Structure 1
Amino acid sequence: MKEGKDIDKLFKDGLENPDLPFNDLDWDNLEERLHPAPKRRGIPLFWYAAAAGIAAMLLIVFLLIKPNGKIETIARSKTGNRNQNNIEKSGDNAVKPNEVPEKQVDRGVNVAQNPLSINRRSTEEGHKQDNKDIFAPNVENGQKTKEILENNGNMLAGIRFKPELSPTINEVEFMEQPLSTKVETGKPDRMKPLAVKQKSRFVLSILAAPDLTSVQKSGQSSLSGGFGVEATYAVTKRISITTGAVYAKKIYDSDFSLYKPNTTYVFSVTPSNIHANCDVIDIPLNVNYKIFNGRRNSISVSTGLSSYLMLKEQYTYSYDGAAYKGPKDYTVRNQNQHYLGIANVGLEFQHKINNNLSISAKPFMKIPLTDIGYGNSRLSSTGVAISVNMNLFKKN
């Protein structure tokens, strides 16, 4: 207990008289956190970028927009016109052919008429002649010649200090050149017709055709179906022809009374029912007529004939009662072919996905025109063919 009291006293004395060192730097840091100085917002970077862009644009405009060299030409032309007027006035008032040498008068008039373009011949003569001859005044008419030189100082200075001007810069001679136009004669070239994409006449279809198959007057239908390939050729915009090959299963049930095989076999006990499972190659030949042709959708009616090639025929017999009383099944292979023995009727709805691909749904009915198979049954089918159609041999 005494040791515990001493510990309590030690904590009490420590809390009543804490020995905490004082540091002015800690108080300054605390004051900065309590009263932070407002931060100075800097100029955003995009302002610098904008100012640099404006300066670059001004520099480009200054470099591109320069004084046109035609201003100097116009100024010289105007000066030449004023000099020409002065020469004409001074010639009327003071200069006469007897008083001024002929060579000086001709040279002055040519320069006054066209101060910017000097004839090459006169320029060469000016080079050969001494400069003193150009400025030498006539003894008798010195005062008048001096006036001409003063009025045409700019012109004569140009002859003396710039005697060779580029012969290509000769505006007067260019304007005086006769204009010639060449007229094409003969028949113009015949324009070629534009290449237009033509629709393909051949369409390849991959189809699947579930159906219900039955023997007429039996009152029973069984689910059958087939899949295959068909090709369509467009004769006109609305008429087309379709053929192909479809592998089909023909499954049906019927009474034995509708089963009429070509055989001499006599059943000891007559079966009551027949179940048939036949593998058939269906080769259609149909003519299609498009009754509606829209931008994306079209509707066609079709009719034609089909040929059945019987690959395998399997017949199963059933009897009344449980006891076995006769043959149970019978199989026939590749013995019956019915060419153009089935009539086809259909209505096709087609939707175009793009210029080369479309899908279609075609409800159809197959009506027998003759007896089908080993059992000589009137076999009919009703179903819907779903196909994917692709355009082939497309030309431009």
Structure 2
Amino acid sequence: MKEGKDIDKLFKDGLENPDLPFNDLDWDDLEERLHPKPKRRVIPVVWLAAAAAIAAMLLIVFLLVKPTEGPAGVNPLVKNSGRDKNKANPENNATKVTETHLKPNDPIVNTDPAGLVANKANRNPFVQRPVGKNVLSGTNTPKLVLVDADRANLLADMVYQPALHTEFDPVAFKDQKLIASVATGKPERIKQPVLNKKPRLVLSILAAPDLTSVQKSGMSSLSGGFGVEATYSLTKKLSITTGATYAKKIYDSDFSLYKPNSNYVFKIIPSNIHANCDVIDIPLNVNYKVFGNSRNSISVSTGLSSYLMLKEKYSYSYNGAYQGPQDYEVRGRNQHYLGIANVGVEFQHKINNNLSISAKPFMKIPLTDIGYGNSRLSSTGVAVSVNMNLFGKGN
């Protein structure tokens, strides 16, 4: 039992205080086993040597089998590199190649193909070879080449005779008689083709808020209207516009600027007047485009408007305690034809060939007294519109 306790104590002491030597190589080995590095495949030297040998063989075969003929369509001139047997003259040691063109009727020309064989037997240095047809005369034009007679047959076999293909007959073209006649008199004017141009009509739906006031009153009230206009293009830059707009004309002014056509006399003079009028505005404007590209354009416009007064309601206010008449209403009694001058600048942006939007700052300047109160009524605002081309692609 005592011995057993000693063994237990021995193990206990050994585990609590281990005396193990530290070695870095063991840790490196463990890390390599946990994270092994991929090994590169090394190409054997034998395969490299075999690939190099195959490439060398292919290069040698290509050089040996490479054709020596020139490109097609070119008549090669064969040179004789053989030595002349006559060595008495040192100038004959060098090879001479001469090429002579002969006419078909030249007596030296031999048209018999058997002459090529006879040239070898007679050792005639002149060898005949045809090179094709003459384009203009249609006959064969032979050539004589001064070469070694021993190689006459070899040269005859190497003659290249290209075939000439022409779309037209050159002889027939040559025999044609071309006659040119000189035109006299005044040339006929070329008429321009008549095109059925579609009218360029643009329909606009607009809303036009504005500030309306009586001249010299110093007070403005927010008014506005909405309507429909049509623009017809006379040219690429010039157009005319007309339409109809239902508008509200609301304004305040001093009673001194109110001059009704009435015999009624106010016992107590009102201090101010407030007007609310329903009006049909019919413009007639001329527009001129000062700038334009594929998307945007700027136009200036001027013209006249007619006011058709539908309903006029006037309210009066007093300073003192005494109150007189409070309001007065008039219906359909006043029409002012071409009594308003229009001035505006339109900025238009094209969305596509048939649709565009525009903003048009404008002023309406009275040329005459307006309404029952004979007031000099003016307006300043911005008309925003959507424009639709009614006849296809516009310019």
TM (normalized to structure 2)? 0.52
SS at match of 2:236: coil
Which residue of structure 1 aligns with residue 116 of structure 2?
85
Q: Return the letter of the residue paired with 2:32.
A: H
Partners of 1:384 and 1:329 in 2: how far apart?
A: 31
Q: Return the letter of the residue paired with 1:364.
A: F
Which residue of structure 2 aligns with residue 221 of structure 1?
220
Partners of 1:12 and 1:337 in 2: how far apart?
A: 128
Partners of 1:42 and 1:331 in 2: how far apart?
A: 107
Structure 1 residue 289: deviation in Å?
Answer: 3.2
Work out which of the residue numbers 369, 372, 380 in structure 1 matches 2:370.
372
Which residue of structure 2 aligns with residue 338 of structure 1?
336
Q: Deviations over 1:148-200 (max 9, x none)?
A: xxxx9xxxxxxxxxxxxxxxxx998989x965778999xxxxx9x99x9x998
Q: What does 1:6-25 correspond to in 2, within 5 Å?
A: 15-16=12-13
In the alignment, is the contact (CA less than 8 A) between 1:226 and 1:247 conserved in 2? yes
Q: Deviations over 1:86-122 (max 9, x none)?
A: 2676799xxxxxxxxxxxxxxxxxxxx99xxxxxxxx
Higher helix share: 1
Structure 1 residue 260: deviation in Å?
Answer: 3.2
Bigger RCO (CA 8 Å, 6+ sep)? 1
Structure 1 residue 285: deviation in Å?
Answer: 0.2
Which residue of structure 1 aligns with residue 255 of structure 2?
256
In the alignment, is the contact (CA less than 8 A) between 1:199 and 1:395 conserved in 2? no
In the alignment, is the contact (CA less than 8 A) between 1:200 and 1:395 conserved in 2? no
Q: Deviations over 1:362-382 (max 9, x none)?
A: 332212223322323221112
Q: Return the letter of the residue paired with 2:250.
A: I
Structure 1 residue 340: deviation in Å?
Answer: 1.5
Which residue of structure 2 aligns with residue 210 of structure 1?
209
Structure 1 residue 342: deviation in Å?
Answer: 1.3
Indicate whether 1:306 and 2:337 are aligned: no
Partners of 1:303 and 1:173 in 2: how far apart?
A: 77
Partners of 1:361 and 1:263 in 2: how far apart?
A: 41
Structure 1 residue 250: deviation in Å?
Answer: 0.8
Counterparts in 2 of 1:335 and 1:395: CA distance versus 1, 3 Å: same
SS at match of 1:210: strand
Counterparts in 2 of 1:230 and 1:13: CA distance versus 1, 3 Å: farther
Higher strand share: 2
In the alignment, is the contact (CA less than 8 A) between 1:200 and 1:391 conserved in 2? no
Counterparts in 2 of 1:40 and 1:343: CA distance versus 1, 3 Å: same
Counterparts in 2 of 1:31 and 1:301: CA distance versus 1, 3 Å: closer
**What RMSD over aligned residues (CA atoms) do the two structures have, in Å?**
5.5
Indicate whether 1:35 and 2:32 are aligned: yes
Which residue of structure 1 aligns with residue 230 of structure 2?
231
Partners of 2:321 and 2:11 in 1: how far apart?
A: 112
Structure 1 residue 221: deviation in Å?
Answer: 1.8
Counterparts in 2 of 1:86 and 1:395: CA distance versus 1, 3 Å: farther
SS at match of 1:381: strand
Which residue of structure 1 aligns with residue 327 of structure 2?
329
Partners of 2:163 and 2:316 in 1: how far apart?
A: 118
SS at match of 2:334: strand
Q: Deviations over 1:202-238 (max 9, x none)?
A: 3333433332211223232222222333222222333
Counterparts in 2 of 1:35 and 1:314: CA distance versus 1, 3 Å: same
Counterparts in 2 of 1:313 and 1:179: CA distance versus 1, 3 Å: same
SS at match of 2:117: helix
Which residue of structure 1 aligns with residue 379 of structure 2?
381
Which residue of structure 1 aligns with residue 140 of structure 2?
none
In the alignment, is the contact (CA less than 8 A) between 1:350 and 1:358 conserved in 2? no
Structure 2 gap segments, 5+ residues each? 1-7, 17-25, 43-66, 79-111, 124-128, 131-152, 154-160, 180-189
TM (normalized to structure 1)? 0.51
Counterparts in 2 of 1:200 and 1:12: CA distance versus 1, 3 Å: farther
Counterparts in 2 of 1:395 and 1:228: CA distance versus 1, 3 Å: closer
In the alignment, is the contact (CA less than 8 A) between 1:332 and 1:374 conserved in 2? yes
Structure 1 residue 256: deviation in Å?
Answer: 2.5
In the alignment, is the contact (CA less than 8 A) between 2:254 and 2:271 conserved in 1? yes
SS at match of 1:370: coil
Q: What does 1:355-366 correspond to in 2, within 5 Å?
A: 356=353, 359-366=357-364
Partners of 2:217 and 2:165 in 1: how far apart?
A: 106
Q: Return the letter of the residue paired with 2:361.
A: P
Structure 1 residue 349: deviation in Å?
Answer: 4.7
Size of the aligned set, in residue pairs, is: 282
Partners of 1:221 and 1:301 in 2: how far apart?
A: 25
In the alignment, is the contact (CA less than 8 A) between 1:297 and 1:349 conserved in 2? no
Q: Return the letter of the residue paired with 2:210.
A: D
Structure 1 residue 272: deviation in Å?
Answer: 2.2
